[in-house]
Structure 1
Amino acid sequence: MSFLQRLTTGFTASKIGTDRFGNTYYESRKSWLGYGRKRRFVIYKGAADPTSVPAEWHCWLHHVTDAPLPEQKLYGWQQEHRPNRTGTPQAYRPPTHVESANRRPPTAGDYEAWTPGS
């Protein structure tokens, strides 16, 4: 966060809390004109990755709840957040992808090219 952003955020918004990823959540001190309610926003720790906002804070950011929900695992099948790996070497690639280690087996004579008029 830049010095100017830190300075203006301190004057115009109040800190609400921090999540387990280090993201900090704020709410404006006054209602915004034309918005009808206080603006809520997040300042990300590190790179701006919207997928790092937990569901509990997402509800609060979008005015679904008045207060942030407690951060807890409700079900055993829930997994921890992993950053979006699209465009990186760790991105998911299906087995037949061009950059995958596996290759599609070559056709073994079961393919006939279409020709018009035949």
Structure 2
Amino acid sequence: MSLMMRLTTALSGRKVGTDRFGNAYYESRRDYLQYGRKRRWVLFAGAPDPTSVPPEWHGWLHHTAAVPMPEQKRYPWMAEHRPNPTGTALAWHPAGHDYSGGRRQVTTGDYEAWTPGS
């Protein structure tokens, strides 16, 4: 988090709460003229990862709910949050992708590349 963000949050924000991932949620102290309501934002615990915002807080951030909903009971079958793997070695690559071997199943009338002058 940048120094400017810390300063802005300290001067114009009011802490509303924290989620189970350690993300802190803030609301502006006054209404914004162009906005017509209080601004809301999140300060992430660690690297900024928007996928770590739980649904209970997502609704509050987007002004769908006036107050944050209570956290849901976690059932054993519910998967815990994992960071977005895009761009990492854990990213999913379909069969035939260069990163997963580059081989795909041959089909009838398989693709024939276009060559100029043909």
Fold-level match, TM-score > 0.5? yes
Partner of residue 116, structure 2: none
**CA RMSD of the aligned region, Å?**
2.7
Distance in 2 separating the partners of 1:8 and 1:86? 31
Which amino acid in 1 is paired with 2:85?
Answer: R
Partner of residue 67, structure 2: 67
Q: Report the CA distance between 1:75 and its aligned residue.
A: 6.2
Of the structure 1 ranges 12-21 and 89-98, higher mean CA displacement relative to structure 2 is found in 89-98
Aligned length: 113
Gaps of 5+ in 1: none
Distance in 2 separating the partners of 1:3 and 1:40? 19
Partner of residue 13, structure 1: 13
Which amino acid in 1 is paired with 2:59?
Answer: C
Partner of residue 81, structure 1: 81
Gaps of 5+ in 2: 114-118
Q: Report the CA distance between 1:74 and its aligned residue.
A: 6.5
Q: Report the CA distance between 1:76 and its aligned residue.
A: 6.0
Instruction: Find the residue that maps to 1:31 and give its secondary structure.
Output: coil
Which amino acid in 1 is paired with 2:61?
Answer: L
Identical positions, percent = 56
Partner of residue 51, structure 2: 51
Instruction: Find the residue that maps to 1:99 and give its secondary structure.
Output: helix
Q: Report the CA distance between 1:48 and its aligned residue.
A: 1.2
Q: Report the CA distance between 1:82 and its aligned residue.
A: 1.1
Q: Report the CA distance between 1:54 and its aligned residue.
A: 0.6
Distance 1:3 1:111, change over 3 A: closer
| Greater Rg by CA | 1
- Give the structure-2-normalised TM-score: 0.79
- Give the structure-1-normalised TM-score: 0.79
Partner of residue 31, structure 1: 31
Instruction: Find the residue that maps to 1:38 and give its secondary structure.
Output: coil
